[in-house]
Structure 1
Amino acid sequence: MSHAQNPEIMQRLRRASGHLASVITMVEEGRDCLLIAQQMQAVIKAIESTKRTLIHHHIDEHLGAAASALPADEARALVSEIKEVSKYL
């Protein structure tokens, strides 16, 4: 499955896009800097979370398939370990 076909990834991206559009409107309207900064931080967190979901999806799709030659326990452990390491990206 391609990343574009993953509904969770696309939904998260659309939500972050809408949130960013709201931040742009806040800036254009001259809203309070603190409120804008808080909303920008929320957008950043949403994008970071989406990036993690995208990477985990990629790991599941590609590494999972490559690891299928291993015994099931080893394959699951390998995929789990790679996902854990990916949080440091």
Structure 2
Amino acid sequence: MAARKGSATAEAISETATTPHGLHHSHKEVVSRMNRAAGQVRNIVAMIEAQRSCLDIAQQMHAVEAAIRSAKKTLIKDHIDHCLDAAAEVTGPDRRTAMAEFKEITKYL
């Protein structure tokens, strides 16, 4: 059932991708990773409620952090690869806006 939910989420994104940036090829992968991380977070909450070992909980939290960090890097790299290339071809205020966004997103690396 989780795969179906992730798939529906990815489909919803592709149907509503009307921003200037649109849907990049990595978005489905990022959505899938984030859905898995959400499942891991729910599992961690259950572990805490079940009074599992703090070591086990901390290990799972570390795994979620790593998964989200990896998804974020994938998203940002894809943005840089595609949107920056497109911005280089634009002139005027749109180019300045795109370059400002590029500078802004790099703080999340």
TM-score (norm 1): 0.69
Task: State yes or no: 1:57 paired with 2:69.
Answer: no
What is the TM-score of this pair, normalised by structure 2? 0.58
**After superposition, where does 1:44-83 map in structure 2 within 5 Å?**
44-67=65-88
Structure 1 residue runs of 5 or longer lacking an equivalent are: 70-81
Q: Which has the higher helix share?
A: 1
Residue 52 of structure 2: aligned partner: 31
* Cα distance in 2 between the residues matched to 1:39 and 1:56: 26
| Pairwise CA RMSD | 2.4
Partner of 2:64: 43
Instruction: Report which structure shows greater RCO (CA 8 Å, sep ≥6).
Output: 1
Amino acid in structure 2 at the alignment position of 1:7: K
Alpha-carbon separation, structure 1, partners of 2:79 and 2:58: 31
Q: How many residues align?
A: 73
Aligned-pair identity in percent equals 47
Per-residue CA distance 1:45-84 (angstroms, 9 max, x = gap): 0010011011112112210212358xxxxxxxxxxxx9xx
Q: Structure 2: any 5+ residue segments left out of the alignment?
A: 1-21, 91-101
Moved over 4 A (4+): none
- Give the letter for the 1:65 counterpart: A
